Amino acid sequence: MRMYDIIMKKRNGEELSKEEIRFFIEGYTSGEIKDYQASALMMAIYFQKMTRKETAELTQAMAESGDMLNLSDISGIKVDKHSTGGVGDKTSLALTPMVAACGIPVAKMSGRGLGHTGGTIDKLESFPGFSTSLTSEQFISQVNRIGIAIMGQTADLAPADKKLYALRDVTATVDNMSLIASSIMSKKLAAGADAIVLDVKTGSGAFMKAESDALALADEMVRIGTHAGRRTIAVVSDMDQPLGYAVGNALEVKEAIDTLSGKGPEDFLELCLTLGSCMLMAGGKAENQEEARELLMRTIEDGSALKKLAEFVEAQGGDARAVYDTELLPKASIVRSVAAPCDGYISHITCDEVGIASLMLGGGRETKESVIDLSVGLVLTCKVGDYVHKGEPLAWMHANDVKKAEEAEKRFLEAYSFSPDVVQKSKLIKKILE
Ligand code: URA
């Protein structure tokens, strides 16, 4: 078999066989197939697409390219959760302690920020000392001890995806449905959970901008998971504006803590309750949505979710005092208002541009080597459909560098459109697929 022939076959729009896909994944993981040939194949897939059968084969081959975690030493139904990535998406920070406080073991593998989207691991590192470098043994023993652990993707877990993801990130081949579905599902299958709840984002801040594409992606991932014997549920949710108000690592941690303290934004809480209900039902802790939502709300009201977050932060070496005193989280030296340029209803926020503005402040990576500034970002004061007067703050910008703040402010303002007429707010939860 020759890589050249595989590229040619896909370039010409033909279906690759299981053997050809395995040949590519094994060769690329071992280094025998080079980046330039893998890039050509990714671009061919981007334009010619993959069939359902090819996508399933690619997922399985990537999942099996490294270790498959065995979580059978953890008792109970392990339910994993994954988001396709968004702006201000701090869901895992609040949701996982809520679910763990309901008795579902959370053994979660998370990632770092990517492009304009943030990552759970970067956000968690806002707790001074926090580490996600756990061995599989430490990971499993912590879940057995306190019911929750989050680790970064190790080199041994779906290494083919790790390499391919980095390659796609720099070759403009991220936003292809089959490539996203296989990337996410290969990691989820290798991470060993019994059930998987997916948050598939749609809108200007998502990789899948069109709702029809997000629905197709959700459907594809549910099929792959179900076929692999894992109960898989997908929630398609709105990412046409940032989730909640905070965008930026420590700022999002604070918003998640506020939410667990009963003072969070409505949309963010609603998404946590929707995803959490799916997790509780998949984990056998609730019969229906109503019962699940009640159990989840109780963890906020009785403080058990916040306590679980503190336990989790402490177990992974972080300063858990910050859970109860958010002044201990990283803080920016400059906090300034970004003023509304005119009167009107906010009719649109180009959401990925808000993510890029935060990245320009230092909150995300410009290159793979960049070191993130955890303290910077933006806290919006209003969302789509709200009325603002000229000069009023649209957001508070947290920065450590005046020049960066000025450039980010320009980019941020370009993301906004205004209308003199009342604007309809978009629906947060578009669809739930199982
Ligand atoms: N998240 C992933 O893990 N992979 C993708 O391809 C896109 C989002």
Say if strands 377-380 and 246-247 run parallel, antiparallel, or are unpaired: antiparallel
Q: Whose CA is nearest to atom 3 of ligand 1?
A: 184
The answer to whether residue 240 is catalytic is no
The pLDDT assigned to 280 comes to: 97
The pLDDT assigned to 368 comes to: 63
What is residue 335's DSSP assignment? Answer: E
12 exposed, middle or buried (CB, 10 Å; 0-12, 13-18, 19+)?
exposed
The answer to whether residue 421 is catalytic is no
- Atom number of ligand 1 nearest to Cα 184: 3
The pLDDT assigned to 375 comes to: 97
Catalytic residue among 78, 116, 123, 187: 187
Residue 37 near residue 54, CB atoms below 8 Å: no
Q: Among 195-204, 302-311, 332-341, 366-375, which stretch is predicted with the lowest mean pLDDT?
A: 366-375
Q: Which residues line ligand 1 (CB under 6 A)?
A: 84-85, 165, 174, 179-180, 183-184, 207
The pLDDT assigned to 114 comes to: 65
Which of residues 2 and 367 earns the better pLDDT score?
2
- Name the residue among 142, 159, 114 with its Cα closest to residue 316: 142
Pocket test of ligand 1: the residue of 92, 108, 165, 209 to mutate, having most ligand atoms within 8 Å of its CB, is 165
Q: Distance, CA 340 to ligand 1 centroid (Å)?
A: 34
Percent pLDDT > 90 in the chain is 88
Q: Which CATH number does 79-324 carry? A: 3.40.1030.10
- Name the residue among 324, 329, 429, 345 with its Cα closest to residue 387: 345
Helix axes 402-414, 351-358, angle to 10 degrees: 180
Yes or no: is domain 3-48 CATH 1.20.970.10?
Answer: yes
Which of residues 162 and 405 earns the better pLDDT score?
405
What is residue 114's DSSP assignment? Answer: B
User: pLDDT tens digits, residue range 57-90?
Assistant: 999 999 999 999 889 999 899 999 999 989 999 9
The answer to whether residue 161 is catalytic is yes
CA–CA dist 379, 394 (Å, integer): 9
The answer to whether residue 82 is catalytic is yes
- Atom number of ligand 1 nearest to Cα 180: 6
Tell the CATH topology of 330-419.
Aldehyde Oxidoreductase; domain 3 (3.90.1170)
Which of residues 309 and 369 earns the better pLDDT score?
309
User: pLDDT tens digits, residue range 131-179?
Assistant: 999 988 899 999 999 999 999 877 789 999 999 988 998 898 988 999 9
Q: Whose CA is nearest to atom 6 of ligand 1?
A: 180
- Name the residue among 249, 245, 247, 242 with its Cα closest to residue 322: 249
Residue 400 near residue 332, CB atoms below 8 Å: yes
The pLDDT assigned to 258 comes to: 98
Q: Whose CA is nearest to atom 7 of ligand 1?
A: 180
The pLDDT assigned to 19 comes to: 98
Average pLDDT of span 316-322: 97
Catalytic residue among 90, 116, 162, 168: 168
284 backbone φψ class: left, alpha, beta (φ>0; ψ -120 to 50): left
What are the domain boundaries of the chain? 3-48, 79-324, 330-419
CA–CA dist 139, 338 (Å, integer): 42
Catalytic residue among 82, 108, 230, 254: 82
User: pLDDT tens digits, residue range 243-289?
Assistant: 999 999 999 999 999 999 999 999 999 999 999 999 999 999 999 99
Q: List, in order, residues 6 or more apart from 10 with CB less than 8 Å away.
A: 16, 41, 44, 45, 48
The answer to whether residue 168 is catalytic is yes
Q: Whose CA is nearest to atom 8 of ligand 1?
A: 84
Mean pLDDT of all residues in the chain? Answer: 95
Q: Whose CA is nearest to atom 1 of ligand 1?
A: 84
